[in-house]
Amino acid sequence: MGTINILGKQLAVDADGNLANRSDWNEDVARELAKQEGIPNLTSQHWTIINYMRKVSEKEGSAPSIRRLTKESGVDTKTLYQLFPKGPAKRAAKIAGLPKPVGCI
């Protein structure tokens, strides 16, 4: 298992490069993770998605798929791709400090 440097701290990551420990995450860490993903500023829409993903993951144990994001977050797919280019579910999960959503098997 590898680590990444976030705000001067070495944080453990899984094979997909996502944070290994939920407790390592906070909003400042999220902003840094977003920068590493090429998203310089997290807008309120970004936070809507990130918070929604964390809520689902907390309750059900895994992050939601893109299809469910579109259905339940109130943000349409087109906008999701603008917010988190190249794979919204994957990327938002990474920034939210969660493992990659299942379904990609």
Active-site residues, by number, are 104
Q: According to the binding rule CB under 8 A, does residue 12 interact with other proteins?
A: no
Q: Is 7 exposed, middle or buried (CB count within 10 Å of its CB: 0-12, 13-18, 19+)?
A: exposed
- Minimum CB separation of residue 26 from other proteins in Å reads 26
CA angle 33, 37, 40 (to 5 degrees): 80
Q: According to the binding rule CB under 8 A, does residue 68 interact with other proteins?
A: yes
Residue placing its CB nearer to other proteins in the complex, 9 or 38: 38
Q: Is 29 exposed, middle or buried (CB count within 10 Å of its CB: 0-12, 13-18, 19+)?
A: middle
Q: According to the binding rule CB under 8 A, does residue 55 interact with other proteins?
A: no
**Secondary structure element (H or E) that encloses residue 12, with its range:** strand 9-13
Residues touching other proteins: how many (CB under 8 A)?
21
Binding site for other proteins (CB under 8 A): 15, 62, 65-68, 71, 77-78, 80-82, 85-88, 90, 102-105
